[in-house]
Amino acid sequence: MKINCLHYMSSGTIVPRVVFVIILMLLMTKGHAQQSLAVIANEKGPPSELSFVELKSIFMGERQRWNSGNKVLIALLKTRNKIGIEVCDKVYNMKPDEMNKYWLALVFQGKASAPYFFNSTTELQDFVAENPGAIGIIDDNVTVSDIKQITIDGKKSL
Amino acid sequence: MQHVYVFEFNLSITRMRHVDTFTRLLIQVAFFTAASSESFCQNNTQIRGFVDAGTVFRDGRFAFNLGEQDLFITSDLSDRFSFLGESVFKYNIDSETRFSVSIERVVLKYNYKGNHNALLGKHHTPINYWNDTYHHGRVFFPTISRPMIFSSVLFPLHTTGISLQGLNLGKLKFGYDFMIGNGIGSTDLWDNNNNKSVTLAMHIKPRTGMRLGMSYYHDVLSKGVDPHHGQVIHHNLTEQLVTASVANFGDKLELLVESTMMLTKGDSIPMQSALFTYAYAGYKITDKIIPYIRIDNLMYPDDHETEGSILETKQNTYYLAGLRYQINYLAVVKIEYQRQYTGSNLLGNAITTQFAIGF
């Protein structure tokens, strides 16, 4: 074992390996931070503009109905999905586990209805298009025409 | 005279006997909305469960123990109606099978406007933060067991009745609960006296993770009833509970302090007061590792007569220190050292562990 370590060190491979890992981690971090999110909603119920504070309040389950009277239906991607992870970070300011625990506890207390979780942005968009009062968050790639994109603090993307 | 409610189900649901007008209207509305909103049931009915098991080392002996199995069901019946049910399966030495099933919560909720709701059924009385938040899900408990106040026979853990509720109102996210129910000593089918229990609770949430609340509870207990845990009340008793709560579960520091003043007055007993307080503090070293402490204090007057349990003596104090490890949001392991005093006498100490999960 001792002889192998000496050979490894002297072969000059460990420094390039460490540098490569650091560069890879930086690229991953940079890539993660650049994911833009779009807030989409059904034509009936949600307004066309919201502030970020209002958006967060809605996704924390603090609002039960829109001004139109439609029930607030929250649509999210599962936290196995990288967009789902990004939503946890940007909107909830929580790690995925914390967000899941938050919602489980809230539903268990009887204080809110559970959100609808989806595996893909296509499924989420279809749900939002079909259900009055539904609001969801996906990446910038909005492919369904029967939904509207909500501006948050005047911006189309989060 | 006890009324017998008989329901004859047919398509017109008009042949209901001995049901008052309000209840009939409520049931008709419920059936109509349920029948016309099948998609809600299909899409958003959730069945979850919580279980815990653990160990205890006490009086020189070590044992494994089984906690409760908590079955929890929620469903959106329509755009405005929803249902919540919680049933607990637990060890019961008096049962032939050594286990019993308890219906802990059955709540029919109607969201009538904005963030305002009407609730009918069996609830956890919203008398303090712990009872309103944690229910029977040990995976959510910050400690292994509930505070000592829950052992009091006069603590209204459940109320079967109706309530009006408001949530997250205004900038301070004001919330309220106004509940009228059968009260302590009643069953889930019948009130043992003509007096209804009344609960009024309010809270604000000035920032994320923080909740400040107060509540008031009033009830009249009849002589001879068994309120809970097999203890019989020896006098007609008027009970008032005033509770104050401070909860702050932040990124690092967790703090929960609640204090309840119990005022009781019997037929020939002057007004007596007892004070129940507990304080919990935890610190998140990491997201997964949280050491914590809790101190419970129950103070009774010298001539307290209304309770026959071991907690009747002047002062009972309970200390615990523990460590919580969050495996993930569905699994947590806790280990605690617990020490209980009655007056200045050490009643006992123990080391306990708990593995609690949700599924």
Question: Which residues in chain A are closer than 8 Å to B137, comparing Cβ atoms?
Answer: 105, 108
Q: How far is CA B198 from the centre of its chain?
A: 15
Residue A13: which pLDDT band, with cuts at 50, 70 and 90?
Answer: low
Residues A27 and A84 placed together within one structural domain of the fold: no
Query: What is the mean predicted confidence (pLDDT) over B48-68?
Result: 94
Residues A131 and A67 placed together within one structural domain of the fold: yes
* A125 part of a folded domain: yes
Shortest CB distance from A114 goes to which of B44, B109, B113?
A: B44
* A95 part of a folded domain: yes
Long-range contacts: B331-340, Cβ < 8 Å, 24+?
A: B331/B139, B331/B355, B331/B356, B331/B357, B331/B358, B332/B139, B332/B356, B332/B357, B334/B143, B334/B144, B336/B143, B336/B144, B340/B316
Residues A2 and A61 placed together within one structural domain of the fold: no
pLDDT score of B251:
92
Residues A18 and A41 placed together within one structural domain of the fold: no
Chains A–B, number of C-beta pairs less than 8 Å apart: 62
* A43 part of a folded domain: yes
pLDDT score of B10:
38
Indicate the domain borders of chain B. Answer: 13-358
Would the CB atoms of A116 and B133 count as touching at under 8 Å? no
Residues A6 and A45 placed together within one structural domain of the fold: no
pLDDT score of A111:
95
Residue B11: which pLDDT band, with cuts at 50, 70 and 90?
Answer: very low
Residues A131 and A111 placed together within one structural domain of the fold: yes
A139: tokens are: 């990446």
Q: Is residue A156's pLDDT more than 60?
A: yes
Do residues B261 and B255 make contact, with C-beta atoms less than 8 angstroms apart? Answer: no
Long-range contacts: B256-264, Cβ < 8 Å, 24+?
A: B256/B129, B256/B130, B256/B142, B256/B280, B256/B281, B258/B128, B258/B129, B258/B130, B258/B147, B258/B149, B260/B127, B260/B128, B260/B149, B262/B152, B262/B154, B263/B239, B264/B154, B264/B237, B264/B238, B264/B239, B264/B240, B264/B306
Question: Which residues in chain A are closer than 8 Å to B117, comparing Cβ atoms?
Answer: 64
Q: Is residue B21's pLDDT more than 90?
A: no
Residues A29 and A43 placed together within one structural domain of the fold: no
* A87 part of a folded domain: yes
Q: Which of B329, B330, B357 to mutate to test the interface with A (most CBs of A within 10 A)?
A: B329
Q: Is residue B357's pLDDT more than 80?
A: yes
Query: What is the mean predicted confidence (pLDDT) over B132-150?
Result: 92
Shortest CB distance from A97 goes to which of B109, B168, B329?
A: B329
Residues A19 and A70 placed together within one structural domain of the fold: no
- Nearest chain B CA: its distance from A40 CA (Å): 20
Q: Is the CB of A144 inside 8 Å of chain B's CB atoms?
A: no
Residue B12: which pLDDT band, with cuts at 50, 70 and 90?
Answer: very low
Kindly report the average pLDDT of chain A as a whole number. Answer: 86
Least reliable range by pLDDT among A23-37, A130-144, B139-153, B280-294 = A23-37
Residues A6 and A57 placed together within one structural domain of the fold: no
Q: Is residue B114's pLDDT more than 50?
A: yes
Q: How does DSSP classify residue B206?
A: S
* A158 part of a folded domain: no
pLDDT score of B35:
43
Residues A21 and A70 placed together within one structural domain of the fold: no
Residue A11: which pLDDT band, with cuts at 50, 70 and 90?
Answer: low
**Segment A75-92, tens digit of pLDDT:** 999 999 999 999 999 999
- Nearest chain B CA: its distance from A9 CA (Å): 35
**Segment A40-77, tens digit of pLDDT:** 999 999 999 999 999 999 999 999 999 999 999 999 99
Q: Is the CB of B105 inside 8 Å of chain A's CB atoms?
A: yes
Q: Is the CB of A65 inside 8 Å of chain B's CB atoms?
A: yes
Would the CB atoms of B140 and A116 count as touching at under 8 Å? no
* A157 part of a folded domain: no
Domain count, chain A: 2
pLDDT score of B94:
80
Residue B314: which pLDDT band, with cuts at 50, 70 and 90?
Answer: low
pLDDT score of B303:
54
Kindly report the average pLDDT of chain B as a whole number. Answer: 85
Question: Which residues in chain A are closer than 8 Å to B48, comparing Cβ atoms?
Answer: 104, 108
Domain interval for residue A81:
37-152
> Is the ipTM, as predicted for this complex, more than 0.85?
no
Residues A15 and A83 placed together within one structural domain of the fold: no
* A116 part of a folded domain: yes
Residue of B nearest to A104 (CA): B329
Query: What is the mean predicted confidence (pLDDT) over B96-123?
Result: 93
Residues A56 and A107 placed together within one structural domain of the fold: yes
Q: Is the CB of B33 inside 8 Å of chain A's CB atoms?
A: no
CATH of the domain at A90: 3.40.190.10
pLDDT score of B349:
93
Question: Which residues in chain B are closer than 8 Å to A113, comparing Cβ atoms?
Answer: 44, 74, 76, 82
Query: What is the mean predicted confidence (pLDDT) over B39-59?
Result: 83
Question: Which residues in chain B are closer than 8 Å to A95, comparing Cβ atoms?
Answer: 287
Question: Which residues in chain B are closer than 8 Å to A109, comparing Cβ atoms?
Answer: 132-133, 135
**Segment B188-206, tens digit of pLDDT:** 788 877 889 999 999 999 9
Question: Which residues in chain B are closer than 8 Å to A62, comparing Cβ atoms?
Answer: 115, 167-168, 173
**Segment B316-355, tens digit of pLDDT:** 899 999 999 999 999 999 999 999 988 888 889 999 999 9
Q: Is the CB of A57 inside 8 Å of chain B's CB atoms?
A: yes
Task: Name the A residues in 109-128 with CB < 8 Å from any B CB.
Answer: 109-111, 113-114, 116
Q: Is the CB of B135 inside 8 Å of chain A's CB atoms?
A: yes
**Segment A92-116, tens digit of pLDDT:** 999 999 999 999 999 999 999 999 9
pLDDT score of B308:
43
Task: Name the A residues in 14-53 with CB < 8 Å from any B CB.
Answer: none
Would the CB atoms of B167 and A62 count as touching at under 8 Å? yes
Q: CA of A131: how far to CAs of A37, B65, B111, B115, in Å?
A: 21, 47, 18, 20
Q: How far is CA B112 from the centre of its chain?
A: 25
User: Is B13-358 in CATH node 1.20.140.90?
Assistant: no
Least reliable range by pLDDT among B18-27, B60-69, B126-135, B198-207 = B18-27
pTM of the shown model: 0.83
Q: Is the CB of B72 inside 8 Å of chain A's CB atoms?
A: yes
pLDDT score of B43:
61
Q: How far is CA B322 from the centre of its chain?
A: 23
Least reliable range by pLDDT among A23-27, B16-20, B93-97, B130-134 = B16-20
Q: Is residue A37's pLDDT more than 80?
A: yes
